[in-house]
Amino acid sequence: MLNSPIVVLLQFFYTVGALGLAVYGLQALILTILRLRSERMSKRGRTRSKSVSLGSTNGDDEFWPAVTVQLPLYNEVHVVNRLIDACAGLNYPRDRLQIQVLDDSTDGTTALAQRRAALWRGRGVNVEVLHRSDRRGFKAGALKEGLRTANGEYVAVFDADFTPDRDFLRQTVPTFLSLDGDRVGFAQTRWTHLNAGYSALTRAQALALDGHFVVEQAARFSVGLAFGFNGSAGVWRRACIEDPNVGGWQDDTLCEDLDLSYRAQLAGWRGVYLDGVEAPAELPPQLLAFKRQQFRWAKGSVATLRKLSGRVWKGGWPTLKRLAAFVHLGGYLIHPLLLLLLLVSPLLMLFGSQPYWPLAYLSLVSAGPPALYALAQRRLWGRAWLRRWAYLPLLMLLGMGLSLSNSIAALQALLGRGGTFLRTPKFHVRREADEWHRSGYALELEPLVAAEIFLALYAVGGCFISVVHGQWLNLPFLLSFTCGYASAAAIGIREAWLARSARTRQRRQTTRPLRAKNLVKS
């Protein structure tokens, strides 16, 4: 049985999965080292460019170029006023600032946006609401449509969950006007979090995003590797977007931001990552909302890999830069690899074959990801970093619990299947007392939860087989999957129940006065 074709095939799949995960563990370690190296160089006073001084925040206004701020929205009643207020309060010459609310909403968001825009126009701020009757092209279509009437030389983009600081444009626009900034196509800033302390879920999300921005984005930029625009809290040079070799906003992937930024860099434009400029945003407090966000990012990034892999390979970049781009664009392929290992490991043990456990532990216990997240927290919080880094086990469980959903997203992208741009609902929650489940945006439970429960039970079976066969080294891996899938399913069911119960109570409260009124009439 040990040499049977089925065992050989299972060993092959196991090896592919383990080595694939090892690649991403190695990437995390390399990026961590590059980030440390760039910090040492920065301390020695070495900078990439010298910026042109544009004066203080109150003077020399005649030197500032025209900027259009685009705010793509779809059903955001909870945060639309907050977003418009923050952007209307930007410290920038009002005669050079245009704010476009690109609204595709089908609920009360449009009326709220129009009233808020009118309020700010009365105060001398150029805020206009552009409402579309359909969502053709989704976010990319809205941005493209808004660009037709934009008057800015530069375009800043903010999603609905962001609240930019007053000096955001004063801190970012000079990047394009520096001595070597003529080929800078876009600038990305670092996301921070309005509600990181809301729950264990938001703390784990904050840990993941901090690692991405503080280490991954900074490391790639420091050595000239390609990196992505994150879709929000960044500024584009309009000439770059409209460059025929770039091709503008396109809607054939669900990550139009990553797609455009790579096409821009392939066309010879540069991206700049501004680690020192912060952009606060709200994290999804509902696991199902976070799951939807990750599904869209997974599908969009793998679709971008499928779309641009040929251009990346033939784009004239050095070999290492091309390889780094492939690993970057395929980052969400880690989830199908994890799922593959889960499915194969119990079968190998059942057939009496010892999985090549050193390969699995090479990737799963690699120092790369823990070191990356530790460095990010140390960089942000100094001596208080450990308390935030302690949420790493939860983040790992989330990754395993979402691996089925993200694997489906990646597979759909590889097969070229499109899809609807499913928004991540925003609830305007910041404190523990704030409740999201009373909102009509709270998501319902998906049928996929049944498959997650099955995989949790499958992992339990794998744990049992591991114990019976004495293959103890596989037990931590399978236990992690058991906890990951069981937690994802349990939390999803609980959240959906809370949301449904809240809606039921609201309906009862609404119908109760009507019943009382009818009784009085009778």
Q: Are 78 and 44 a contacting pair, CB within 8 Å?
A: no
Residue 43 is encoded by which pair of tokens?
């301390």
> What is residue 415's three-state secondary structure?
coil
> What is residue 131's three-state secondary structure?
strand
Which residue numbers are catalytic? 104, 257
* Helix, strand and coil percent figures for the chain, each rounded to 5: 60, 10, 30
Q: Are 20 and 205 a contacting pair, CB within 8 Å?
A: no
What contacts 494, CB < 8 A, 6 or more positions away?
none
Start-to-end CA distance of the chain, whole Å, equals 81
Residue that has been written with the tokens 């995390």 in this structure? 28
Residue 351's φ and ψ, nearest 5 degrees, are -85, 5
Nearest to 395 by CA among 201, 241, 230: 201
Sign of CA pseudo-dihedral 27, 29, 31, 34: negative
Q: Are 290 and 235 a contacting pair, CB within 8 Å?
A: no
Residue that has been written with the tokens 């400029």 in this structure? 277
Distances (CA, A) of 197 to 137, 278, 282, 284, 495: 35, 18, 11, 12, 19
Sheet holding 67-73, edge to edge: 127-131, 97-103, 67-73, 154-157, 234-237, 184-193, 270-281
Q: Look up residue 214 and give its DSSP letter.
A: I
Taking the CB of residue 497, how many other CB atoms lie within 10 A of it?
Answer: 12
CA 124 to chain centre: 34
> What is residue 399's three-state secondary structure?
helix
